Amino acid sequence: MPLSGVFSRLDLMKKWEVGSHGGTYGGNAVACAAGVASIQAIREDNMLKNATERGEQLMTGLRKLQEEYTQIGDVRGKGLMIGTEFLVDGRPEKAKPLVKEIVHAAEERDLLLLSCGTYDNTIRWIPPLNVTSEQINDGLTAFEGALKTTIK
């Protein structure tokens, strides 16, 4: 169901003429109700606080792995959006095959990861806002297993 929204400072929004911006080609009451319910769940279940705490947990775990695996060039992110950048011989453009192997090995351990970046050398982590501490630990364990099998 289509649902979109635009957020901006009031002074910028006032510059747009009525009807000059829009999308999804009309209202969708069901999508709007789902959007409101999602916002309520985010607030009531403290998902933003959870995202901050679980993001710190994930970042700490990935940085610990970075100390062991020199191919991890950088771990960066905010909240639960985290990137793990890989380098081969100190170069990002050489790391794409390694990242593909790691992503595949992680998938074999039931951990779904995607690669991204200019050189496709970064693994992105975007777990759900309601992820648990145990699930983060399980993901880190699976990722470490994937690293052990792909990085000699």
pLDDT at 8: 83
| Widest pairwise Cα distance in the chain | 60
Within a domain: 1: no
Which spans in 14-95 are helix H? 29-44, 47-68
CATH number at residue 73: 3.90.1150.10
pLDDT at 51: 97
Q: 64 by DSSP, 3-state: which?
A: helix
For residues 76 and 18, membership in a common domain is answered with no
Domain of 134, in residue numbers: 47-150
Three-state DSSP class for residue 72: strand
85 and 141 share one domain: yes
pLDDT at 148: 98
Give me the average pLDDT of each 10-residue run along the chain (152 residues): 78 81 70 91 97 98 98 97 98 98 98 97 98 99 98 86
Q: What is the pLDDT of residues 28-41, one digit of tens each?
A: 888 889 999 999 99
pTM of whole model > 0.85? no
Q: Are residues 56 and 116 in the same domain?
A: yes
- Same domain? For 37 and 52 the reply is no
CA neighbor of 122 nearest in space, from 95, 148, 104: 95
4 is a domain residue: no
Total domains in the fold of the chain: 2
Do 24 and 53 lie in one domain? The reply is: no
Q: pLDDT value at position 23?
A: 62
- The answer to whether residues 79 and 101 belong to one domain is yes
pLDDT at residue 75 in the model? 99
The sheet with strand 72-78 has its strands ordered as 72-78, 81-86, 122-125, 114-116
Residues 29 and 77 in one domain: no
94 and 35 within one domain: no
In a domain, 5, yes or no: no
